[in-house]
Amino acid sequence: MSWHERIVTDPAVCHGKACIRGTRIMVSVVLDNMAAGLSPEEIMSSYPSLTLDDVRAAVSYAAELARERIIDLPAAS
């Protein structure tokens, strides 16, 4: 699973912030919940449209950002 398949940006959704494809759930929301100590299962319970692969994609996306490279995101389709 590649995070590229699940993380998108769209200027018309959440001010262009990175979101889980097909939702308005920002990657930062998933990461904030994880940083607060919630398990992936608890996050998915709070956001039923999320899957475990979505949570993993958010973490993978964050890891890419931590490498301090420029990342081109696909536009939402």
Beta pairing class for 19-20 and 7-8: antiparallel
**pLDDT 10s per residue in the chain (77 long)?**
789 899 999 999 999 999 999 999 999 999 999 999 999 999 999 999 999 999 999 999 999 888 876 767 777 76
**DSSP-based helix, strand, coil % in the chain, nearest 5:** 50, 10, 40
